[in-house]
Structure 1
Amino acid sequence: MTNERRNFIKKTGLAGLGAAIAVPSIASADSKKTFRWKMTNCYGAGAPFYSTGPGSASYFCKRIEELSNGRLRIKHYPAGELIPAMEGFDAVSKGTIQMNWGNSFFWAGKTFAAQYFTAVPFGMNFQGTNAWLQFGGGQELWDEVYKPFNVIGLAAGNTGVQMTGWFKKEIKSVEDLNGLRMRVPGLAGKVLEQLGVSVKLLPGGEIFPALERGVIDAAEFVGPFQDRRMGFQKAAKYYYTTGWGEPSNTSECLINKDAWESLPKDLQAIVKAVAAECNLMGLSWSEANNSEALEDLVKNQGVMAKTLPDSVIEKLRDVTFATYDKLTAKDPLVKKVHESYFAFKAMHDDWQNKSEEVVMTKLSS
């Protein structure tokens, strides 16, 4: 500052203003700081919806870099490139990496309540799940469940309704499930185990070889578009639906809490906004692509798309809610999350029955 300028400030009483003008340069230090993070993925390179394409992990990283003007750059590592597919939770919890992309029900062995933030058998659809997470206390419960592990989870994608799965033989009764070896994650797997199914939890890239070689007899993955890409139709021809196990399926962006708290508020806001963008975009992408894929599978690839018999669905429902009773009796936190989820579902069902169900029944072609 020149002597002339210094004297002017003193004479005009603007010394305080000069100090105030200097404040933004101090406050803006965080706005100039850059962050370089790593994100692993439960899914392999090239997996649509999860690793590539609109709303995927790679899209998430690109959008954050764009919106932050490069201040936050996240390097995405598909499954197996940095760590094995199912080791993301521990790596994020320990702070080895800052983020992981996947599904919270993969971590049900660490805290079973995590199941409720991905997919709940006989639970809510996309609309209900998101309403619960955003405005029904779901996100706060997610934070509570993950607090002991020093991580936080954000909803960052949704497939909508998922298919029951691929089967090598037709399912005509509950007895046909007994003895099957099936890849199926989450609570749906615990339910099926009680009906005699031998449940396997395999990463996405290992499902087709296991199905093709007969190591497993059935497999649940996602929906028509992703399943067709995996080639399951070449190993099994019966493709069942009802969505009982996954009426919706939420993708999770898992973040190390210390890393999260190191971000300035504006970067935190960007991460949350992009996660919300991916959450909606993932569903829209799935809705846009599944119809064509299912039609192709049936018309051109010999797939028999079927709905599970009512008797099987009712048995699954009975076993599912009996399983809920056992699990909630063992763990107060699971009980707390469960009661919040299903209380919200009851309220949402009442509205849905008067809105969505009527529309689908009366206005469908």
Structure 2
Amino acid sequence: MDRRRFITRSGTLAAAATTLAAPALAQSAPELKWRLTSSFPKSLDTIYGAAEVFAKFVAEATDNKFQIQCFPAGEIVPGLQAADKVSDGTVEMAHTCSYYYWGKDPTFAFGTAVPFGLNSRQQNAWFYHGGGNELLNEFYAPYNFIGMPGGNTGAQMGGWFRKEIKTVEDLKGVKMRIAGFAGAVMQKLGVVPQQIAGGDIYPSLEKGTIDAAEWVGPYDDQKLGFNKVAPYYYYPGWWEGGAALHFFINKGKWDELPKNYQAVITAAAMAANVDAQAKYDQVNPAAIKKLVADGAKLRPYPQEVMEACFTAAKETYAEISAKNAAFKKLYEAMAAQRNDAYLWQQVSENTFDTFMMNQQRKKQL
């Protein structure tokens, strides 16, 4: 072939290929700006920060072509309406707790935590490899959003009390900031559940409007100053053995995304999921030591109270399952996961952790 004709023809083919490729690349990497509303205040850098970690990952992975702006609770959407505004398309996505929407349907609780349910590792195993997230998204479908895990606090604390709890009888008449599933269980033991926003807990405890309150754990609780108005700090938060946060994304907006952007969001959510608990595990030890040094009276729930709560929780599961098919389906799936998970962890993690904790008590570490 004539060399000049070959070069000319090659140049024409290359130009044509470039012309064809450019639109395809542009379509796969469009410039997008989304809004994410959080259910948490910016002052709680751990829990709110998970959304910022997520948004930063998405921006950097797309060369800033896909930008997600995060808004704290109340700035554009009230904290407990985050899912509603994703559902109706007001915002593209939210960072929230699924169980905040217990009032719509108790089944929402399984996206975050349920009494005497899974710890954080077991939650992740169920969500990612046990079919849990698929079951949840099947449930979320009528609400016009999809969900994916976006952080975990680990096992939470059992709350701040103005008086000591020694028996089940001591719980009767206690006005406690605790809502949703846990509130329904505690109510069976005589507690009077109160649903109060995070920012209103301190003044309510200070004034005696409530007698007790649960929030998250040492790091966040210390920031909110609960130890100054309620001295007794109980553990564990049996209603939140591994409380998961969730990213909710409007279904229509999700379906419009190129596949590579969907992959970036999925990976970013997983990164935020790991980072949030890692941060909590890093900051909580120092916080619990500081709280105790400042006078907090750290107490385990008495065994009698734990057993009574466990029995009440099983009764509540049965009552709701009898009238709510979606709840029953998620509960049975979670319970099956829980049974196998604890069978394994008592052989692995629990044996190792128990030995190491004993060494710590003997001051061998």
TM-score, structure 1 as length reference: 0.93
Pick from 346, 354, 360 the counterpart of residue 339 of structure 2: 346
Q: Do 1:43 and 1:203's aligned partners in 2 also have CA atoms closer than 8 Å?
A: no
Q: Is the 8 A contact 1:120 1:187 kept in 2?
A: yes
What are the Cα deviations for residues 270-317 of structure 1, in whole angstroms up to 9, with x where unaligned? 111111111111111111111111111111x11100001000000000
The residue aligned with 1:333 is 326
The alignment status of 1:169 with 2:163, answered yes or no, reads yes
CA contact (8 A) 1:157 1:281 kept: yes
- Residues 273-312 of structure 1 aligned to structure 2 (within 5 Å): 273-299=267-293, 301-312=294-305
2:20 paired with 1:23: yes
Cα separation, 2, equivalents of 1:19 and 1:174: 79
RMSD: 1.9
Q: SS where residue 161 of structure 1 aligns?
A: coil
Alpha-carbon contact 1:111-1:145 (below 8 Å) kept: no
Q: Which residue of 1 aligns with 2:182?
A: 188
Deviations 1:187-229 (A, max 9, x none): 1111011112121222221211211121111110000010000
1:44 to 37, 41, 46: 41
1:227 aligns with 2:221: yes
* 1:267 shift after superposition: 1.2
**Alpha-carbon separation, structure 1, partners of 2:55 and 2:198:** 22
- Following superposition of structure 1 onto structure 2, how do residues 55-134 of structure 1 map, counting pairs within 5 Å? 56-134=50-128
Deviation at 1:5, TM superposition (A): 7.5
Deviation at 1:63, TM superposition (A): 2.2
Deviation at 1:31, TM superposition (A): 3.3
2:132 and 2:339 map into 1 onto residues whose CA distance is 15
Q: 2:154 aligns with which of 160, 168, 171?
A: 160
Q: Does 2:208 correspond to 1:208?
A: no
TM-score for the superposition, normalised by structure 2: 0.93
Q: Distance in 1 between matches of 2:5 and 2:207?
A: 83
Q: Is the 8 A contact 1:125 1:248 kept in 2?
A: yes
Identity of aligned residues (%): 38
- Give the letter for the 1:35 counterpart: L
Relative to structure 1, is the Cα distance of residues 21 and 244 closer, same or farther in structure 2, using a 3 angstrom cutoff? same
Count of residue correspondences: 355
| Structure 1 unmatched ranges of 5 or more | none
Superposition deviation, residue 51 in structure 1: 1.9
- In the alignment, the residues of structure 2 paired with residue 19 and residue 6 of structure 1 have an alpha-carbon distance, to the nearest angstrom, of 15
- Alpha carbons 1:150, 1:256 under 8 Å: kept: yes
CA distance in structure 1 between the aligned counterparts of 2:264 and 2:8, rounded to whole angstroms: 42
Structure 1 position 362 matched with structure 2 position 355 = yes
Question: Counterpart amino acid of 1:349?
Answer: Y
**Residue pair 2:120, 2:242 contacting (<8 A) in 1 also:** yes
- 8 A contact 1:105–1:185 mirrored in 2: no
- 1:50 aligned counterpart, secondary structure: coil
Structure 1, residues 84-116: CA drift from partner, whole Å, max 9, x if none?
111111110000101111100001112221101
Code of the aligned partner of 2:220: Q
Equivalent-residue separation in structure 2 for 1:342 and 1:211 (angstroms):
35
CA deviation string 1:29-62 (max 9, x = no partner):
223411111111111122121223xxx2222222
Contact 1:159 1:248 in 2 (8 A): yes
* Residues 159 and 237 in structure 2, CA contact (< 8 A), matched pair in contact too: no
Inter-partner Cα distance in structure 1 for 2:263 and 2:192: 44
SS in 1 for 2:322: helix
Whole-Å Cα distance in 2 between the matches of residues 63 and 350 of structure 1?
Answer: 36
Deviations 1:157-201 (A, max 9, x none): 001010010000000111111111111133111101111212122
Unaligned runs of 5+ in 2: 360-365
